[in-house]
Amino acid sequence: MDTGGGGGNANSKSPESYDGLHLDHQHHHNHHLFERVRSIGLLFGIIVVTCYMLYPSAYPFQFSPHSSYNQDKGGVKLEKILEKVAMADKTVIITTLNGAWAAPNSIFDVFLESFRIGNETSRFLSHLVVIAVDHYAYDRCLALHPHCYALSTTGLDFSGEASYMTSTYLEIVWRKIDLLHSVLKMGYSFIFTDADIMWFRNPFLHFYLDDDFQTACDFFWGNTSDLENQANTGFHYVKSNERTIKLYKFWYTSRKTYPGLHDQHVLNKIKFDSFVTTNIGVKIRFLDTAYFGGFCQPSKDLNQVCTMHANCCMGLGSKVHELKVMLDNWRKFLSLPTDVRASQPTSWAEPKSCSHQALWRAGSYGILRHTVID
C-alpha cells in the first residue's frame, strides 16, 4: 500500500499555483487603489472648478483675474474707448472707480445721478470713461454705464475702501497719474473728475482758453494765477500738448522725490519748481471755488455752481451721506420758481457727518490759508 501517494492533499498547491494566486490578488489590489485615486482626483477637480467659478481670486490657488476684467487678452483697449467717447476736439471725461465706491447705493450711483439732474449735464455721460481698478468695479460699471475700462492690477486687490494715505490709496492715485499721462500721449485732452464730485452745470464755460493745466482748489485765494492756491487734483482740465505730457512725466517721477505723499501733495510742491515753471513752461490756472467748490470751501451760490466735491470729508459712509444731502439741496433749488432762484442766492446745508465741519465754516468765510487737505 502506497501511503506516500503522489497525489498528496487535495488542498495543497504547487509553488506555481501560489504565485498565480498572489499575482491575482495583487492585480485586484492595484485596480482597487487606482479606482480610489481616480475618484479622489475627480472629486478634487470638481472642487477646484467650483472654487474657480464662485471665487475667481480664491486663495491659495492664485487663479488668474476675472475673465471679463482681463483686458489684456482680446478685451477693449483704452484707445478704442477714448476714440468712441471723445468730443469733437478730442476731449474726454475720466473718473476712476474701485469696488467700494462702485457698490450699490455708494459713490458711483450718486455720481451718475448728479449728471442726470444737473443743468444740461446728462449729455456729458456719453463722453465719460470710467477706469475700474478691480473686477468688482468693472462689472458694476458695465451694469450702469457703457464706457468702462479695466485697469490691470495683477497681484493687487483694490476692491475695498482705500483709506486716506494708506499704501493702497497711494498706489491707486499714482496709477491714475500714469494712466492720464498715457491719455495725453495718445493726443486726448481730458477733464479728470473724482467720483465724489457732483456735476451740476457745464464746467467748460468757466475754463480758460489759453492755459494748459487747470485745477480745482481746496482753498482759492482770489487770483487764478496764484501758485499759493491749494490745488485739488480731484478735478482738473488738461490739454494734450508737449508741455502737459512733460508735466505728467515729471509729476509721476516726482513720487520718488517725495515718498509717501500722494499726487495732490506732490503737485502742490512741484508747481513752484523751476523745471515746471521755466523749463517746461506749462501754464497752470486755478479754478475759482465759486464755480468749482467743495466741503473745504463751498460754492456759496447755487445759481453759479458747476461742481461740488466731498473733500474735507473722511470716510466712505460720511461722503455718501453728505453727497445725497447735497443732491437733495439741488433738487429743492430746482423746484423753486425761476424768478426766486435768480433773486435769492441759495447755498448748501452744512455737512453734519464729516469730520471737518469747522473747515466748512472757515472755508465759507475765507479765513484759512496755507492748508493742504484732501
- DSSP string over 62-100: TPPPPTTT-TTTT---HHHHHHHH--TTSEEEEEEE-HH
In the chain, pLDDT over 90 holds for what percent of residues?
Answer: 59
Bridging pattern class, strands 213-219 and 284-286: parallel
Query: What is the separation of C-alpha 63 from the centre of its chain, rounded to a whole number of angstroms?
Result: 22
Q: What is the pLDDT of residue 31?
A: 54
Q: Has residue 158 got a pLDDT over 50?
A: no
Tell me the pLDDT band of 223, cut-offs 50, 70 and 90: very high
Q: Has residue 109 got a pLDDT over 80?
A: yes
112 within 8 A of 79, measured Cβ to Cβ: no
Which helix (H) or strand (E) segment holds residue 16: the answer is helix 15-54
One-letter-per-residue 3-state SS of 317-344: HHHHHHHHHHHHHHHHHHHCCHHHHHHC
Q: What is the DSSP string of 142-177?
A: HHH-S-EEE---TT----S---TTSHHHHHHHHHHH
43: its cell numbers: 472629486
Residue pointed to by grid coordinates 483704452? 78
Q: What is the pLDDT of residue 252?
A: 95
Residue of 341, 286, 302, 349 lying closest to 322 (CA atoms): 349
Which helix (H) or strand (E) segment holds residue 178: the answer is helix 167-185
| pLDDT tens digits for range 50-104 | 443 333 332 222 222 333 444 443 346 899 999 999 999 999 999 999 999 999 9
19: its cell numbers: 504565485
Residue of 209, 219, 186, 198 lying closest to 297 (CA atoms): 219
**pTM for the whole structure:** 0.75
Q: What is the pLDDT of residue 75?
A: 43
Q: Count how many residues are written for the chain.
A: 374
Q: Has residue 130 got a pLDDT over 90?
A: yes
Least confident range from 22-31, 332-341, 352-361: namely 22-31
308 within 8 A of 350, measured Cβ to Cβ: no
Q: What is the DSSP string of 218-283?
A: EE--S-TT-TTSEEEEEEEEE--SHHHHHHHHHHHHTTTTSTT--HHHHHHHHTT-HIIIIII---
Q: Has residue 11 got a pLDDT over 80?
A: no
| Mean of pLDDT values over 245-257 | 95
Residue type at 320 in one-letter notation: V
**Average model confidence (pLDDT) for the chain?**
79
| Mean of pLDDT values over 255-264 | 89
| pLDDT tens digits for range 294-316 | 999 999 899 999 999 999 998 89
Q: What is the pLDDT of residue 45?
A: 52
Q: Has residue 28 got a pLDDT over 70?
A: no
Euclidean distance between CA atoms 216 and 120, whole angstroms: 21
Tell me the pLDDT band of 346, cut-offs 50, 70 and 90: confident
| pLDDT tens digits for range 172-216 | 778 889 999 999 999 999 999 999 999 999 999 999 999 999 999
Q: What is the CA radius of gyration of the chain?
A: 32
Residue of 264, 241, 240 lying closest to 254 (CA atoms): 264
Residue of 182, 174, 185, 138 lying closest to 159 (CA atoms): 138
Euclidean distance between CA atoms 124 and 144, whole angstroms: 15
| Mean of pLDDT values over 146-175 | 64
Q: What is the pLDDT of residue 162?
A: 42
347: its cell numbers: 447755498
| pLDDT tens digits for range 353-370 | 885 554 545 544 444 444
Q: What is the pLDDT of residue 348?
A: 86
Q: Output b/e per residue, 227-259; b: 16+ Cβ within 10 A.
A: eebbbbbbbbbbbbeebbbbbbbbbbebbeeee
